[in-house]
Amino acid sequence: MKAAAFVYPWDVNGDPDAPARIAGLGVEQVTLAAAYHSTRALTPRHPRHRVVTAEHAAVLYPPGDHWTGRIPRPYPAGPWAPGDAHGEAARALAGAGLAVHTWVVLAHNSRLGAEHPDTSVRNAYGDRYPWAPCIAQQATRAYLTDLAAEAAVRPGARGTELESLGWYGLPHLHAHDKISGVPLGEAGEYLMSLCFCPACRTGYGEQGLDAGELASAVRAALEPLWRGAAADRGLPMVAELLGEERAAAVRAWRGGVARGLQEEAVAAVRAAAPAGFQVLLHADPVPEHCGANAGVDPAHILSVADGVVVPCTAGTAPLAPFAAHAGERTVLAANFTVVSGMGGSPRTLAADAARARTAGATELRLYHAGLASDGDLAAVREALATR
């Protein structure tokens, strides 16, 4: 199976040894961040720095003039990725014989939510999630679609991987997170991720729901979870808590919004890209799930995109729903964390890859070549050498 490693521009720029080191892992491709959220990242081998702090979500190249006057619009990066940081890194990596694909984070932007609060998901209690732009809002959808096309189709890129192209909600590692005191489980996290901004309230109305009554029902459904009086029984519990008809109407609204955005964004990328440009989504096979790996309908998304990148560090079970709908040329990339300190297991990568292949995977993704220790990278080299 072809293997690709995730990389940030700051892992490469200023380190002349980085391209050869990454190529030496045995990967054929890099997935290089072009639009990314705020983060603090170690750079354990860089000759100039050890920690990079990306202070806000940004594009890692100069945004086009067509954004002038628009809200929302992408923010340029600060000193952590100055100028055309993506382009500089892409050229260096291509010079080492690596195919470069872009890595584009979309509906995840804390600065946007801080500066324009009305763009954010708002839960049933009225709390806003500044990291989560509501994808039902028309201006936000237009922004995400145009950003997908611009950030994906960078010079020299052969394809893209679109992350968080769907609903974002409560589950999110925020600064100094302290939200784990009450275990809400899948059902509670889903209910806490439902949006009640004006656009979503209108959408619920189109499904025959009164948004105010729905918000009250969500709060009532969450009450026993806050008290610890109900054991988590997964997403089927949502229908028990809200009622099947109401739960189905909510799923219909949110699913339609996400599918529409995914279709629009992929179409925009294809319109801007050269022939043969590959478009993948970071995806979860459970449509109700929120986050970086957007919850999708597997059959639908594989009719829209060239394939998916699927989280497999906790096991390869998420591959099966996609494999059931894969065509001859569908890309099913199994994504494994190879950073031991982040819960990865690079020393079992060869066995994990074999299980992924059996489950239907056609490619591997390795997170993350810049963050991993020397020992982790040595284990990756050894595993990839056995393919």
pLDDT in tens, 268-324: 999 999 999 999 999 999 999 999 999 999 999 999 999 999 999 999 999 999 999
The answer, as to whether pTM is greater than 0.95, is: yes
Mean of the per-residue pLDDT values for the chain?
96
Q: What is the CATH number of the domain that holds 103?
A: 3.20.20.80
pLDDT bucket at 231, cuts 50 / 70 / 90: confident
> In this structure, are strands 278-284 and 294-295 parallel, antiparallel, or unpaired?
parallel
How far apart are the C-alpha atoms of 52 and 371, rounded to whole Å?
11
User: Counting beta carbons within 10 angstroms of the beta carbon of residue 40, is it exposed (0 to 12), middle (13 to 18) or buried (19 or more)?
Assistant: exposed
Q: Is the pLDDT of residue 255 over 90?
A: yes
Among 282, 286, 279, residue whose Cα is nearest residue 255: 286
What pLDDT score does 175 carry?
A: 75
| Distance between first and last Cα of the chain | 7
Could you tell me the residue range of the domain that residue 348 belongs to?
A: 2-385
Amino acid sitting at position 164: S
* Amino acid residing at 345: S
Query: CA-to-CA distance for 269 and 148, rounded, in angstroms?
Result: 6
| Close Cβ partners of 227 (under 8 Å, ≥ 6 residues apart) | none
* 87-104 pLDDT, tens digit each: 999 999 999 999 999 999
Q: How far is CA 314 from CA 127, 167, 189, 336, 337, in A?
A: 31, 22, 19, 9, 9
| pLDDT higher than threshold 80 for residue 260 | yes
Q: Do residues 39 and 72 touch, judged by C-beta distance below 8 A?
A: no
Number of domains in the chain: 1
Between residues 174 and 166, the one the model is more confident about: 166
173 pLDDT more than 80: no
Q: Does position 233 have pLDDT exceeding 90, yes or no?
A: no
